Amino acid sequence: MNEYYIEMVNIKKKFGNVTALDGCNLSVKKGEVTAIVGDNGSGKSTLIKILNGNISPDEGEIYIDGKCYQDLNIKKALELGIETVYQDLSIDNYKNSSENIFLGCEILKNGIFLDKKRMKEEARRLLDELNINIKDLDEPVLNLSGGQRQGVAIAKALYKKSNIIIMDEPTAAMGIKETHKIMNTLKNLKSNNNQITQIIICHNLFQAFEIADTIHIIKSGKCIKKIETKSSSPMEVNKIMMELELGEE
């Protein structure tokens, strides 16, 4: 059995004359939470867009559960259970929580009618599992807090029986209270669904250490270092990143 559930090997990608990824490697065990950290423009977003099939690599191989994929498209990535929660969340502000969770995969009654009662019950179960408190599931998500909206987006990925959930800066532009709620949501996701593999792009090292098992430092399109959080600290990782920055000057 392969040690890693996800392996991205020697991934390269150019956009014109700009090299976004220059032989980047990523390795993640099943059920693990991995944080990807690095400066803006380091290649973090390009790497996850290759993993979820939105972008094709110029070179490199992707292994999911031991099987090699040189190029994933969106359809194949979804079939493999790879879901991405972007910063914009891709939810419909004018639909309610249950409508958003089941958008595109609605539960039908008699094969024709929407089973709104069952969808609401299932939505409540998923949100409770994540410890997301939304009193009125009929309320348009436009009126919900940032943390609640993030919870709806994660619940949507859970309902789709995702194996891999990628999150792009899940606490971006949130205040302290909302950030705390999201971190608790991610912890609940980890504790309740230990077969789900999480990959989180994160700019805050303290948050990364709070939730992640491993951290990949990306610099200039390469994974410079992989660190196990249990044997390191935010200060040590920050020191490594500062040394890398100084080394380029």
Tens of pLDDT, residue by residue over 216-248, are: 999 999 999 999 999 999 999 888 888 877 765
Residue 249's pLDDT is what? 45
Query: DSSP secondary structure string, the chain?
Result: --S-SEEEEEEEEEETTEEEEEEEEEEE-TT-EEEEE--TTSSHHHHHHHHTTSS--SEEEEEETTEEES---HHHHHHTTEEEE-TTTT--TTSBHHHHHTTTS--EETTTEE-HHHHHHHHHHHHHHTT---S-TTSBGGGS-HHHHHHHHHHHHHHTT-SEEEEESTTTT--HHHHHHHHHHHHHHHHH-TT-EEEEE-S-HHHHHHH-SEEEEEETTEEEEEEEGGG--HHHHHHHHHHHHHHT-
Token couple for 115? 């089973």
Number of other CB atoms surrounding residue 18 within 10 Å: 9
> Region 81-93: what's the mean pLDDT?
85
pLDDT tens readout for residues 156-194 = 988 888 899 999 988 877 788 888 888 888 888 888 777
pLDDT tens readout for residues 17-28 = 999 999 999 999
> Region 7-31: what's the mean pLDDT?
95
Cβ partners under 8 Å of residue 98, min gap 6: 116, 119, 120, 122, 123, 137
Cβ atoms of 39 and 224 within 8 Å: the answer is: no
How confident is the prediction for the chain on average, in pLDDT?
Answer: 90
pLDDT tens readout for residues 88-125 = 767 899 999 999 999 888 899 888 899 999 999 999 99
φ, ψ (nearest 5 deg) of residue 62: -120, 130
pLDDT tens readout for residues 48-61 = 999 999 999 999 99
Torsion of CA 203, 205, 209, 212, to 10 degrees: 20
Residue 1's pLDDT is what? 58
Token couple for 19? 């090299």
User: Over the range 209-238, which residues count as b (16 or more CB within 10 Å of their CB) and which as e?
Assistant: bbbbbbbbbbbbbbbeeebebeeeebeebe
> Region 187-212: what's the mean pLDDT?
88
CATH homologous superfamily, domain 1-81+162-249: P-loop containing nucleotide triphosphate hydrolases (3.40.50.300)
- pLDDT at position 71 over 80: no
Enumerate the domain spans of the chain: 1-81+162-249, 92-161
- pLDDT at position 9 over 90: yes
φ, ψ (nearest 5 deg) of residue 49: -70, -25
